[in-house]
Structure 1
Amino acid sequence: MFRELIVALFGGGRNLVSQTAEVFRENVEAGAARAAGLRGQAMAQLGAEFAVSRQGRFDRLMDAVNRLPRPALALGTLGMFIAAMVDPLWFAARMQGLALVPEPLWWLLGVIVSFYFGARYQVKHQAFQQGIAETLARAPQVMENIGTLEKMRGDSPGVADTGRDAQLTLSATRPEANRALGDWRRARAG
């Protein structure tokens, strides 16, 4: 009787226990074989894609364009940091210009970039009319800031003009005492 029970559970070319367990848990060996087959098919598909000879100018151009966005974004970001260090006034004026970009356009750029880099959804809701109104309200302040920045440039005409301030004109044109030159003259005369 015990032998018949064992044969019923494990014999006859089938295994009732393992077949029942596979209902609740995947057979690891069979899963590995399926995964290996899937990887093989993916590699075959990738190889078939590159097996086609792309001799045309258009194909080469499209391949080149597809490789540009990531390096362009990375190098552009580094370039902004360098520009901020080399010419802060120039950089500040450009950033004031970016302040005029409407909020919905920033969201659109975010959607495009996140789509390109594999994002699956955009979380935040945008208020289009409110963003445009806020941007237009900032425009006069941005123009004033740009004007102030331009006045601060060292190469702007009249930047050193003292205006009608007589005291400032006198202090700017009065030579300062040069102690080293005085010592040199005394040493030479003496």
Structure 2
Amino acid sequence: MGLIGKLLTLVFGGGRNVVQETAEVFRENAEAGAQRAQDIQIAAMEGFQAEFLAGQRGMFDRVMDGINRLPRPAMALGCLCLFTAAMVDPVWFSERMAGMSLVPEPLWWLLGVVVSFYFGARHQAKGQEFQKQIAQSMVREPHVLQGIEGVRRIEDGDQNNPALADWLAQRRG
């Protein structure tokens, strides 16, 4: 091996690039930095996903969810039935409403509190479920962005397929 070959082996030998390694001491490799940032983001999102998916719902939870969905439709249908009853049998309706006027005021307040807490808790549970869905969407974001980037590269004609490049050039021109 000649002197130049030994000098090149010294600088670039052993499968290493000494110039690149020296430059990376002073300046971060942008590609490696971007990859590390993406890995950190994916790891964080997978952690969020694992946290939200850890509590898989059992049969009891699903049955209770079904029962929790009954009060709103029951109240809405009950109101519609009362309007119908008032038109069909006004005497029967008047007797029931007279009975309602005998309910003491503190009991009405208690009913208001129970209904308010029920719907407030339901609103909070739905909000947490929405946050869970957002976290799951964020986990998929890097993959979606890579797909969009690939489609844009193809659209801009920046691909390694000469046949596709010719076809795009003919289509545009």
Structure showing the higher helix proportion among its residues: 2
Larger of the two Rg values belongs to structure:
1
Identify which of structures 1 and 2 has the higher relative contact order when contacts are C-alpha pairs closer than 8 Å and 6+ apart.
Answer: 2
For normalisation by structure 1, the TM-score amounts to 0.35
